[in-house]
Amino acid sequence: MNKVLLIIQREYITRVRKKSFIIMIFVVPALILVMGGVIGLIASNSGTPDNEETIKVIDESGAFNGKFHNKKNITFQSTTQPATSLKANLKKQKDEFLLLIPANYKKKDAVQIYSQKKPGFALTGEIEKQMNDIATGSELLKHHIDTAVVHSIKSDISINPVEVTDTGDKKTSVGANMGVGIACAILIYISLFVYGAQVMRGVIEEKTSRIIEVIISSVKPFQLMLGKIIGVGLVGLTQFAAWIILSIISAKIAGSAFSSPQGSVVGFLAILKTIPFGYIMGVFLFYFLTGYLLYSALFAAVGSAVDSETETQQFMFPITLPLLFTYILSVSILFQTPDSSLAVWLSIIPLTAPVAMMVRIPFGGVTTWQLALSMSLMVLGFLFTTYIAARIYRVGILMYGKKASYKELSKWFFYKE
């Protein structure tokens, strides 16, 4: 046990003392704040093109003449010039478009827009919105319905979610839950790759430098693998703890800087208060640790089986495929239906649970038995993968000059002590 502790101490201190580690502790929270501000700035100015764009409209139906409204950087111009000459001019005008509205504009794909460059979503979306509003208004007038009355009685209903708890009703935010869930899933996904790869690279470096032959004379291969995994894992926990503390401090500073009750930062912080961060952080740390132990053992086995990092690809893809698959589903589907059968099963299976569970947890739909079963399987999962990895590691760590295959790895697994 003392030997394992010495290896853990060596792995931890070596990495923590690096300048890159200290720099990243302070840089990451700052980057997150800057990124949040940039995203907010971009979002507030999105929806319109940067350059002044002119849309020349040929309306063969007569239903849209003079009814388009100019927007920021978007100008509509009705024209009766021939379409052929206007198309020829488009080759010289980069920010000019020709909108051709035929008499049968209601037919699918009948309306066409011509340009030298491909139009953006913001531009086509604005044109489609205005055309639909104009067409709807025309139909209402045709049926003798006053459009002014329709607009005056149009409702703008929004749903305010309230969570029923044992301590009473509690306001919540679907958007904040979604944001926290996806952020945790992405963080878990990236951290498992980053810290697992550190274990793998460390094993490859020691193997190729032949220093491993000296180390193995003093400790057992399993002790060495376990020490490296735990040491790097503690480095990850140290970084996360520092990032959490600095992020909280930064958020409070930002909140005091924008002390107005109507300020967007204050409103954002008020929304965050509806989220049970203590519970989410506890679950996050558990799935980071167990997920890291599960995957880093496999990464260590891969590192022991190869002589260089370029040879790892054939083994890495099958290992990382479950994580990649779950990550893609998490940021596209799972956050929309966190209680679906797919989400539940992915949050229970050990290879996919670290990412899928973190998407579900902020929404509060995870039952006690689901969480208990998932956590139990995670523990069993990392014990099982550690056992498999240790069987491969003990042989592979001393193998040189021979390219390993899956068949060779299976032989190593069944070798007797």
Summarised one tens digit per residue, pLDDT across range 298-344 is 888 888 887 777 777 778 888 888 888 988 888 788 878 888 889 89
Q: Mean pLDDT throughout 357-378?
A: 89
Q: Coil, strand or helix: which one is 165?
A: strand
Report yes or no on whether pTM surpasses 0.75. Answer: no
Mark whether 94 and 189 lie in a shared domain: no
pLDDT value, residue 47: 55
163 has which bridge partners? 170
pLDDT tier, 144 (very low <50, low <70, confident <90, very high otherwise): confident
**pLDDT value of position 43:** 55
Q: Mean pLDDT for the chain?
A: 79
Kindly state whether residues 193 and 296 are assigned to the same domain. yes
Percentage above 90 pLDDT, the chain: 6
Consecutive H or E run containing 327? helix 313-329
One-letter amino acid identity for 214? V
- CA–CA gap between residue 161 and residue 308 (Å, rounded): 53
Which range among 29-33, 364-368, 384-388 shows the weakest confidence by mean pLDDT? 29-33
Domain end call among 120, 153, 186 = 153
Do 129 and 196 belong together in one domain?
no
What percentage of the chain exceeds 70 in pLDDT? 80
Non-local CB neighbours of 130 within 8 Å, separated by 6+ positions: 67, 68, 69
Contacts 24+ apart (CB under 8 A), 38-42: 40/264
Among residues 414, 409, 7, 413, the alpha carbon closest in space to that of 203 is found at 7
Structural domain boundaries enclosing 190: 172-414
**Shortest CA distance to 298 belongs to which of 285, 315, 273?**
315
Is 333 a domain residue?
A: yes
pLDDT over threshold 60, residue 187: yes
Check which CATH number belongs to the domain holding 93 and give it. Answer: 3.40.190.10
Q: Are residues 268 and 185 in the same domain?
A: yes
Q: Where does 2-61 have alpha helices with state H?
A: 2-16, 19-44
Same domain, 188 and 110: no
Do 178 and 278 lie in a common domain? yes
| Both tokens assigned to 391 | 């069987």
pLDDT at 349 (0 to 100): 92
Query: Quick one: 286 and 371 in the same domain?
Result: yes
Query: Which segment, 61-70, 160-169, 210-219, is predicted with the most confidence on average?
Result: 61-70
Distance of CA 261 to the CA centre of its chain: 31
Nearest to 221 by CA among 72, 397, 408: 397
**Structural domain contains residue 268:** yes
Q: Is residue 213 part of a domain?
A: yes
Domain co-membership, 220 together with 138: no
Residue 16: inside a domain, yes or no? no
- Four-residue CA torsion sign, 177, 181, 187, 188: positive
Question: Residue 11 domain-assigned?
Answer: no
Tokens 């020709």 belong to 98
281 neighbors 180 (Cβ within 8 angstroms): no
Residues 120 and 199 in one domain: no
